[in-house]
Amino acid sequence: MLFLNPRATRADYPAELSAIMNIAQAHQSREWLSSWRGIHPNATPLYDLPDAAARCQVGRLCLKDESVRSHLGSFKALGAPIALVRQILRLHPDFEPAAILAGRYAQALRGYTVISATDGNHGRGLAAAAQDAGCRCVIVLHAHVSPEREQAIAAYGADIVRIAGNYDESVHEATRLAAAHGWQVVADTSYDGYEDIPRDVMQGYGAIAAEIVEQTSAQRGRAGTFTHVFLQGGVGGMAAGLASYFWEYHGPQRPRFISVEPAQADCLLQSAIQGRPAKATGTVDSVMAGLACGETSPLAWRFLQPCVDVFMTIEDEQAIEAMRALAQGSERDTPIVAGESGVAGLAALEWLRSDPQRSEQVGLTAESRVLIISTEGATAPREYTRLVGQSAEQVLQRQQAWQAAHSLQTQPA
């Protein structure tokens, strides 16, 4: 489904939004995380995919590969860890920010417990950060989170609580447990009276946009390299974190933003239709586990409503085909390991370009320059192998061979 947002504007980044999230805070978060062992020090690759661009009939297609951001395998390594750091600083303002995840204050934090619900990647990021900081972590998982993802979270020392419901019910259970035991919720979705930590999570994602600006030599206040940017939906946090950065940086010359989510977890699209944060209309059970969210984050919606131009949904089968296409690579495109949620942008682009009317509605032409974000790698390796027909290790071996043969430059000129 496709919905053109009548409330999207092209103006300077509003002061009221800048007071909540801004480039300066994004850079501070990036600096604080730079010394954490859970983050690789270099920017993640920005790949040119000329064959995929030709297939989609666009002028240029670039993919930002967040699978190599961290050993955690996803962009979530930027969100929960920095939110934990900022929350600890509220309690201990004398702590040195960069030293928190180095474990320097582990003794002082031994009695501190954080909790969150997750579809997988957020919980894994929080568990890893809590383990390094020295505090306890409890993670609530719903029925559709695979045992493989549970094991990946538990490997970082988190205590796991299982519930029978869906993601949104796991969010409510985490809130209940926190109130009952005096624990601190570190979630990536907001609700009434709970906005500071979700804001910190979203602000952390701004590091991705900052790297893209650097990698493309963009100039502030001017149109950048890309005319269209596809952003994964979920509760809206990742989309808000990146869109707000690009909006503040480019101003009225910002690219066109397109939000993508599973058809059965269409909370952002429904929010756009209704003009307020809304719930999904489907089962919220998708192979795109990281995007299987039923309720829009009200805080994220404050940023998305005025700047996302198009809201759309895709089917699970489209995501699986996109996973296979990226894994296969081509003569001019390096093979890429992209997980179920990571391929949403490519799947959406292919669907839009398969119909001239849809393309015209969103302004896609043969001259368009498109950015997609692969938000995760094979965070559930067995599931990845089942869906793609080859393992992530096999794809990475072919990627290494391809890049060696092509002397790949990962940062487009």
Catalytic residues: 76, 119
DSSP classification of residue 294? S
Residue 144: CB atoms within 10 Å: 17
303 burial class (0-12, 13-18, 19+ CB within 10 angstroms)? Answer: buried
Pairing of strands 228-232, 369-374: parallel
Closest CA to 159 of 176, 140, 185, 178: 140
Check if the beta carbon of residue 197 is closer than 8 Å to that of residue 189.
no
What letters, b where the CB count within 10 A reaches 16 and e where it falls short, cover 207-226? Answer: bbbbbbbebbebeeeeebbb
- Which helix H or strand E contains 285, and what residues bound it? none
Number of Cβ within a 10 Å radius of residue 62:
23
Write down the H helix ranges in 193-236: 196-215
- 288 with 320: CB under 8 angstroms? no
Q: Which of 40, 72, 52 is nearest to 375 (CA)?
A: 72
**Are 343 and 322 within 8 A, CB to CB?**
yes
Phi-psi map region of 217: left, alpha, beta (phi>0 left; psi -120 to 50 alpha): left
Q: At what angle do helices 316-328 and 344-353 cross, to 10 degrees?
A: 100
Q: What is the DSSP letter of 37?
A: T
Distance CA 99, CA 397 (A): 36
Q: 259 in helix, strand or coil? A: strand
Cα dihedral value 128, 132, 134, 138, nearest 10: 0
Distance CA(62)–CA(225), nearest Å, equals: 10
